[in-house]
Amino acid sequence: MTQLTQDNSTGFSGILGKICLSPMGLAGLAILFLLPLVPPFNQDYMIRWLISGAIVAAAAVAFDFSAGYLGIVNFGYAAFIGLGAYTSAIISNKIGISPFITIFAGALVSAGLGVLTGIVSLRLRGMFAICFTWFIGIALMGLCLKLDWLTRGPLGLQCDGFFEGNSSLPYYYLILAIMIFTYLVLGLMIRSDYGLAFRAIGQNMEAAMTSGVHPTKYRVINFTMSCFFAGLIGGFYGHYYGILTPELLHTQKTVEVLVIAYIGGRSSLWGGIVAAFPFIFAMELLRSSLSDLPGINLIIYGVFLIAIMVYYPGGVAQFFKNLTARKQRSTSSTAQKAKTAEAGV
């Protein structure tokens, strides 16, 4: 799947562009839709890998919405995912409401915490804002451990599944729908006046304020939307895996999402989707091959992150943008030569 978003004003591409898609992006989504129906990807363990890829891809899109456009890295992001997961599971278990409904309740609770986080962090910038979000994550993980009468602590909280039976295929299509929904909603916001305000604040807050942009309003909106989708993804996570432990809220989970978002390319949204699936497949293969080396995945995450930030800070998104620009220059050059030849004749 290549670049998902593309601005074209006419034809089919123009229609797709209005909903933040391109023909190549649509083709990529079609491949993701058909992939679990084709050997060897139709094997159950492969479908589980695809589900893991879609979970991380959706989370990377929502994470990049804040980190890429506002420049605020939410190191407590996994805690918002976990909060949505625990909220959905507890409501479903205690009241007996369908998980299809409770995941939205979890998303709203995470969004509510996102509002508070956005307001409190307004006076903080750079490393101080990062540390604040990290402390929130640590605090939430501690609460999940201590409130064992509600969360069952390290013993794990059981969650009802979305579907009957043991097939993973319905779960794949559900998380694929959540991933697409996350991308389209946030992508449309970025293409609106909100996106212009987010970019202005992320690049230079003082200049944005002098231009009439209200940082408080837009930072809170951005954080709230990012956390809403974190909670929604977390709700799926809990009801898919069937059990929740406080480790879900650990910073390590945030690092996994951060690495995918940065490899995909900051402030691209779609880059995380492109990067997530091959990266998750590679990590699963390495994990099965190097099972006697626990923690090797964290080392690999670190190496990838450093390499991308030093040698290719634009990530996968920049690679495709450069490729597209090169093709356009080549096409333009060919057309110019043809015009020159015609003029000569």
Could you tell me if 217 and 273 lie in one domain? Answer: yes
pLDDT at 71 over 50: yes
Could you tell me if 244 and 188 lie in one domain? Answer: yes
Could you tell me if 5 and 96 lie in one domain? Answer: no
Closest listed residue to residue 72, CA positions, set 136, 113, 125, 110? 125
Could you tell me if 27 and 105 lie in one domain? Answer: no
Q: Which residues make beta-bridge pairs with 243?
A: 158
pLDDT at 66 over 60: yes
Residue pLDDT, tens place only, 125-157: 777 888 888 899 899 999 999 998 999 999 999
Could you tell me if 29 and 164 lie in one domain? Answer: no
pTM: 0.88
Core vs surface per residue 201-229: b (16+ CB within 10 A) or e: bbeebeebeeeebebeebbbbbbbbbbbb
DSSP 8-state assignment for residue 48: H
**In which band, very low, low, confident or very high, does the pLDDT at 90 lie, cut at 50, 70 and 90?**
very high
Q: What is the dihedral of CA 275, 280, 281, 282, to 10 degrees?
A: 90
Residue pLDDT, tens place only, 295-331: 677 787 778 778 877 887 778 787 777 777 777 666 6
92 in any annotated domain: yes
Could you tell me if 132 and 211 lie in one domain? Answer: yes
Could you tell me if 243 and 298 lie in one domain? Answer: yes
330 in any annotated domain: no
322 in any annotated domain: no
Q: Which residues neighbour 238 within 8 Å (Cβ) at sequence distance 6 or greater?
A: 85, 86, 88, 89, 157, 159, 244
Could you tell me if 94 and 30 lie in one domain? Answer: no
Domain encompassing residue 28: 1-38
45 in any annotated domain: no
Could you tell me if 12 and 124 lie in one domain? Answer: no
User: How many domains, the chain?
Assistant: 2
321 in any annotated domain: no
Rounded to whole angstroms, the Cα distance separating 202 from 150 reads: 39
Residue pLDDT, tens place only, 188-246: 999 999 999 999 988 888 888 888 888 888 989 999 999 999 999 999 999 999 999 99
Could you tell me if 181 and 133 lie in one domain? Answer: yes
Which ranges in the chain belong to alpha helices (H)? 11-18, 23-34, 44-67, 77-95, 99-120, 127-146, 148-151, 169-190, 193-203, 205-210, 215-241, 251-264, 270-289, 296-311, 315-344
19 in any annotated domain: yes
340 in any annotated domain: no
Rounded to whole angstroms, the Cα distance separating 70 from 198 reads: 6
Tell me the residue type at 98. Answer: S
Check which CATH number belongs to the domain holding 295 and give it.
1.10.3470
212 in any annotated domain: yes
Could you tell me if 62 and 147 lie in one domain? Answer: yes
Could you tell me if 33 and 86 lie in one domain? Answer: no
